[in-house]
Structure 1
Amino acid sequence: MDLKSLIRNIPDFPKPGIVFRDITTLLRDREGLRFAIDAMAQTCQAWEPEFIVGMESRGFMFGVPLAYQLGVGFIPVRKPGKLPADCHSVEYELEYGSDRLDMHKDALDPGHRVVVVDDLIATGGTAKATADLLERAGAHVAGFCFAVELRELGGREKLPSNVPIVSLVQY
């Protein structure tokens, strides 16, 4: 299936010169969504995860059905102030400023095998911060899986070189 044909391109969003890759058109297409989740599941199953980790918020859209499909748990990584229990936190740099990601301290035990899932990897900052957060928790990152990758932004180069990285669609 040509998933790229199901992703809408919006020029000059959020600012001039940027082409926004809108996955909402993929999400609304029942065959496309099923194909994407099935393809991600086929890839991730080989990595034998115990948990899928998804970043707020679009990582939840792919991560939860993927965890369900694989019969494993789902761990949310959230923006500051969204989780009620004690958290591991990591701050990371954005193009303009910084941000923080949180994960419950009791979400994972040391050595748990996890796969990090998100809708898109661009510069890799959020995925790298998530990997750092998981390392702090003692988890083993078995792989990264993205629906879309913007190759020209070099995000995969920020991720651990010894961990597999798969994206269904590349631009």
Structure 2
Amino acid sequence: MTIDAITTIEECRKVLTSEIKTFPDWPEKGVNFKDVQSILFNPELASITSHYLKELLPKNKKNEYEFNKILCFDARGFLFGFDLAKIANAPMILARKPGKLPGELITQTFQKEYGTDEIQVQEGLIKPGDKVLIHDDLLATGGTAGAAAEIILKCGAQIAGFNFIMDLTFLPGRKELQKYVPNHKIKALLEF
């Protein structure tokens, strides 16, 4: 199927599944890393991916977005998260590793599939009453997205849902995120 022939989300999923490369034993032995580089290298495929990620954004019955801010992760979450923020006309919040953001920060430690990590968000960007959508490229163990959820809750805001390019369904990420939202608010363009 050519990229020009993609007219449905299912056709998009088939093309993406065939295009996304897997790197065995990276970043450590036993991890099969799914890489979005092949999507980014093809501008048409990137555009189509962005279009169908938009279709997964939570909306109400009036077709209005059910979030007013979107939090995206360093670095691959930024790539499509910025497109989603523009589409929804919502502010984008950067979640980054320690030492990457200036000012007063909110920090959350979490477990990843291959170690402990931390994310930080600048204070004051998430306010009580906000409804924040969390976007990243990949759902694996749910550690990174769960850490973002904890930051949102610390700020007195609500978690509007989760949005991913890929969900590694053989890992417990989806179950982990169901602590924060019902399953139908966890969306992924692809499942592996």
TM-score under structure 2 length normalisation: 0.82
Note the C-alpha offset of 1:142: 0.7
Q: 1:168 is matched by which residue type in structure 2?
A: L
Note the C-alpha offset of 1:113: 1.2
The equivalent position to 1:143 in structure 2, one of 148, 161, 171, is 161
- The answer to whether 1:38 aligns with 2:51 is yes
2: distance between equivalents of 1:91 and 1:59?
A: 18
Conservation of the 8 A alpha-carbon contact between 1:75 and 1:107? yes
- SS of 2:56 mapped into structure 1: helix
2: distance between equivalents of 1:12 and 1:87?
A: 34
Unpaired runs of 5+ in structure 2? Answer: 1-11, 60-64
Note the C-alpha offset of 1:68: 1.2
Conservation of the 8 A alpha-carbon contact between 2:50 and 2:80? yes
* Cross-structure match for 2:25: 12
Conservation of the 8 A alpha-carbon contact between 1:119 and 1:147? yes
Choose 1 or 2 for highest CA Rg. 2
The equivalent position to 1:106 in structure 2, one of 116, 124, 134, is 124
Conservation of the 8 A alpha-carbon contact between 2:159 and 2:181? no
Conservation of the 8 A alpha-carbon contact between 2:50 and 2:83? yes
Q: 2:50 is matched by which residue type in structure 1?
A: I
Q: Indicate how the Cα distance of structure 1 residues 95 and 58 shifts in structure 2: closer, same or farther if over 3 A, else same.
A: same
> Aligned-pair RMSD on alpha carbons?
1.7
Would you say how many aligned residue pairs link Structure 1 and Structure 2? 171
Going by fraction, where is strand more abundant, 1 or 2? 1
2: distance between equivalents of 1:13 and 1:99?
A: 17
Unpaired runs of 5+ in structure 1? Answer: none
